[in-house]
Chain A
Amino acid sequence: MTETFKYYFEDFEPGHMTEVKGPTLTKEEIVEFASRFDPQPFHVDEERAKSSIYHGIIASGWHTVSLCMRMICDAYLLDSASMGSSGVDQVRWLIPVRPGDSISLRMTVLETKASRTRPEMGIVRHRWDVFNQNQELVMEMTGIGLYRRRDPAPRGPAG
């Protein structure tokens, strides 16, 4: 039996947007993530963070990326026929994320195209914007999602 999903390649149309609310970050979560993965002083050491250019603890950019990925999963990816990703074009950290910030995600479909080599797959270019509770854009990311097609493309005359 073939598993079915809510979203296939055909369901991602250019201009389509999805929004989802994310978590409110505590200082403890910020420090805990950074202690494991990115222990720079302005992420883990309150005193040194105070005297840094950020004037206080800020979340690791990788933490924001990881939270973004989780919001992507919760918003649509776990319900989709995802075949992974070949890459991300760019990640921009625009404003620091601080303890107490509540973040949210807006995904926009930028473009879609059929795979030239794999008729069962389609390629979606996404833009993912992460906002804080003041609707300020804290991070923007663009990249590729690969999805199975609901209806595989017909083979060309050459087979």
Chain B
Amino acid sequence: MSFKYHWEDFTPGWTYESPGRTLAKEEIVAFAREHDPQRYHTDELAALSSPFGGLIASGWQTGTVAMRLMCDGYLNASSCIGSPGFEEVRFLLPVRPGDTLRYRATVLEARPSSSKPDRGTVKWRWEVLNQSDEIVMSMTGVQFFLRRPD
């Protein structure tokens, strides 16, 4: 298997910014009915009298939009072998029907594995922006990538 990107390609400061992805009201309600059926995610009328004043997307839907844009943008062309998790997730602004989201990744640091010479870790900052260039969600995460074969 050959990959476009290996661990060596993700040096600190490397960035990626995705195309936009517009979230329709129907998608917001469908995701929430299955995974996060709080009423301000599923019920347009009830959402009006909620603290958010209208329907908003589940924060985890925003996360999965980022994950998919990441896969399409570079991850599925990479030697990624998984992730131990992520941190510092901030839901900064509500995502509403019709919002167009973009995903931005920045490499914070990259380290070779001390125990496994065929791989390394990359620490990322992941951000989701809306059509007004406001950051709606941010997080930091770690992923493992295989190193480029000699």
Known: A40-B76, A65-B63. A73 touches B68 (CB 8 A): no
From residue A66, how far is it (CB to closest CB) to chain B in Å?
Answer: 4
Distance between Cα atoms of A80 and B60 in the complex (Å): 19
Interface size on A, residues (CB 8 A): 34
Instruction: Count residues of chain B with CB under 8 A from any CB of chain A.
Output: 30
Contacts of B68 in A (CB 8 A): 36-39
A40 near B84 (CB under 8 angstroms)? no
Complex contact A86–B81 (CB within 8 A) = no
- Chain B residues 106-131 with CB under 8 Å of chain A are none
Within 8 A of A (CB), among B66-105: 67-68, 71, 75-76, 80-91
Q: Mark A77-89, 1 if CB is under 8 A from B, else 0.
A: 1100011111111
- CB pair B58–A53 under 8 Å, yes or no, is no
Chain A residues touching B, majority SS: mixed
A52-B81 in contact (CB<8A): yes
Q: Is the CB of B90 within 8 A of A87?
A: yes
Q: Is the CB of B82 within 8 A of A62?
A: no
Q: Do A37 and B64 touch across chains, with their CB atoms under 8 A apart?
A: yes
Any B CB within 8 A of the CB of A61: yes
Q: Which residues of A contact B14 (CB under 8 A)?
A: none
Q: Which residues of B contact A37 (CB under 8 A)?
A: 64, 67-68
Stretch at the interface among A12-20, A90-98, A100-108, A150-158: A90-98
Any A CB within 8 A of the CB of B37 = yes
Q: Are A73 and B37 in contact (CB under 8 A)?
A: yes
* Residue contact A61 to B51, C-beta cutoff 8 Å: no
Say how far A31's CB is from chain B's closest CB, in angstroms: 14
Q: Does A56 contact B (CB under 8 A)?
A: no
With A69-B58, A86-B91 as contacts: A78 and B71 at CB distance below 8 Å: no
Q: Are A84 and B52 in contact (CB under 8 A)?
A: yes
- Asked if A70 is an interface residue, CB under 8 A from chain B, the answer is yes
**Are A39 and B76 touching (Cβ within 8 A)?**
yes
Q: How near does chain A come to B122, taking the closest CB pair, in angstroms?
A: 15
Within 8 A of B (CB), among A33-66: 36-42, 52-54, 60-62, 65-66
Q: A39-B76, A89-B88 are in contact. List 12 more A-B contacts (CB 8 A).
A: A37-B64, A40-B71, A42-B81, A60-B67, A65-B63, A66-B60, A69-B35, A70-B37, A77-B38, A78-B37, A88-B89, A93-B83
Report B's interface with A, CB cutoff 8 A.
Answer: 34-38, 40, 51-52, 58-60, 63-64, 67-68, 71, 75-76, 80-91
Question: What are the 7 tightest A-B residue pairs by CB atom distance, in nearest-first order?
Answer: A88-B89, A37-B64, A66-B35, A92-B85, A87-B90, A90-B87, A91-B85
